[in-house]
């Protein structure tokens, strides 16, 4: 049996990815901090914030897929998990003699990027790029699909006639979690993807409030009114209460202040995948 070591296998993307791998006959060994009953594949207990986190089966792995990571500003562990955690995954891959390494970064990762989240993803990418491993880096934009915490909150907002949202001018480019998982899986045998970094954005670029309006129209077949919290007041709410409203956390909102949409047609060509649109996903006909 072919074996894949997956970090973040219990997460939103990691579960989708692990299920696909197992359907294809791979054995998934999933790194997790908490051993629970609902774990997919063979669990390996370990915390990437601490040295020597890998306690579990030492198999001949075909690849390491590194999905463990945080969302923008969720905790103060963003830098340690992305940077030190990635270093540990890379070292473990080398120790085990695994050559293929797939890393899940994020769109907008950059040395001069405006947020800690994006800068730490960039540092992690550099660790992977200079590791000597056969890497592929995937940079998804905000992912939607069953199990997304952010989109669940947006769906709840779309459930009511009035949605109160902090003002976000930049566009977002939601990408389907299943497309990202499929791309990660296909990277295993598509040699042309070795040494490449792909920006993964969906086909639509939308304002956040338009996403909520679409959801209301397509899920519930009604129109809603969106009330925008002006930027200045949102900053005040953030400082005073640590949140900017009922839907977005302060960090998510700050992250969405910076537009990072990209059309990278190379992934359509290299992987032969047509991305799902948010509109189709929420369409009453699908």
Ligand X SMILES: NC(=O)c1ccc[n+]([C@@H]2O[C@H](COP(=O)([O-])OP(=O)(O)OC[C@H]3O[C@@H](n4cnc5c(N)ncnc54)[C@H](OP(=O)(O)O)[C@@H]3O)[C@@H](O)[C@H]2O)c1
H helices of the chain, where? 12-23, 78-79, 85-96, 116-129, 149-158, 177-186, 208-219, 231-241, 250-255, 266-271, 278-281
CA-to-CA distance for 148 and 155, rounded, in angstroms? 10
**Residue of the chain from 3, 7, 193, 204 that contacts ligand X (CB under 6 A):** 7
Is residue 48 at the binding interface for ligand X, with CB under 6 A as the rule?
yes
Radius of gyration of the chain, Cα coordinates, nearest whole angstrom = 19
Contact segment (CB under 6 A) with ligand X among 4-12, 20-28, 203-211, 219-227 equals 4-12
Is residue 91 at the binding interface for ligand X, with CB under 6 A as the rule?
no
Please calculate the CA angle 53-139-212 and round it to the nearest 5 degrees.
Answer: 110
Is residue 47 at the binding interface for ligand X, with CB under 6 A as the rule?
yes
Is residue 106 at the binding interface for ligand X, with CB under 6 A as the rule?
yes
Is residue 68 at the binding interface for ligand X, with CB under 6 A as the rule?
yes
Looking at the Cβ atoms of 147 and 160, the one nearer to ligand X is 147
**Residue of the chain from 3, 4, 5, 10 that contacts ligand X (CB under 6 A):** 10
Q: Which of 221, 226, 215 is nearest to 280 (CA)?
A: 215
Looking at the Cβ atoms of 98 and 104, the one nearer to ligand X is 104
CA-to-CA distance for 121 and 175, rounded, in angstroms? 18
Is residue 120 at the binding interface for ligand X, with CB under 6 A as the rule?
no
CA-to-CA distance for 153 and 156, rounded, in angstroms? 5
Is residue 145 at the binding interface for ligand X, with CB under 6 A as the rule?
no
**Residue of the chain from 5, 13, 157, 260 that contacts ligand X (CB under 6 A):** 13
Is residue 34 at the binding interface for ligand X, with CB under 6 A as the rule?
yes
- Residues near ligand X (CB under 6 A): 7-8, 10-14, 31-34, 47-49, 67-71, 81, 104, 106, 140, 142-143
């Amino acid at each position: 049996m072919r074996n894949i070591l997956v970090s973040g296998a219990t997460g939103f993307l990691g579960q989708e990815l692990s299920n696909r791998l197992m359907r294809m006959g791979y054995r998934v060994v999933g790194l997790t901090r908490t051993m629970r009953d609902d774990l997919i594949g063979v669990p390996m207990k370990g915390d990437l914030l601490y040295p020597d986190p890998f306690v579990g089966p030492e198999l001949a792995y075909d690849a390491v897929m590194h999905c463990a990571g945080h969302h923008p500003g969720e905790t103060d562990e963003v830098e340690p998990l992305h940077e030190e955690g990635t270093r540990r995954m890379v070292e473990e891959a080398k120790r085990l003699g695994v050559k293929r390494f797939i890393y899940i970064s994020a769109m907008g990762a950059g040395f001069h990027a405006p947020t800690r989240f994006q800068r730490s993803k960039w540092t992690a990418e550099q660790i992977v790029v200079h590791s000597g491993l056969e890497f592929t880096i995937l940079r998804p934009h905000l992912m939607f699909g069953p199990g997304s915490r952010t989109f669940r909150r947006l769906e709840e907002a779309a459930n009511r006639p009035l949605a109160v949202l902090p003002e976000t001018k930049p566009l977002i480019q939601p990408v389907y979690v299943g497309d990202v998982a499929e791309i990660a899986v296909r990277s295993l045998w598509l040699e042309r993807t070795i040494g490449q970094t792909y920006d993964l954005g969906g086909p639509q670029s939308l304002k956040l409030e338009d996403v909520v309006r679409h959801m209301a129209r397509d899920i519930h077949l009604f129109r809603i009114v969106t009330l925008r919290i002006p930027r200045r007041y949102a900053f005040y709410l953030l400082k005073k209460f640590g949140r900017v409203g009922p839907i977005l956390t302060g960090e998510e909102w700050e992250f969405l202040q910076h537009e990072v949409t990209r059309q990278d047609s190379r992934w359509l060509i290299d992987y032969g995948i047509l991305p799902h649109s948010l509109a189709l996903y929420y369409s009453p006909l699908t």
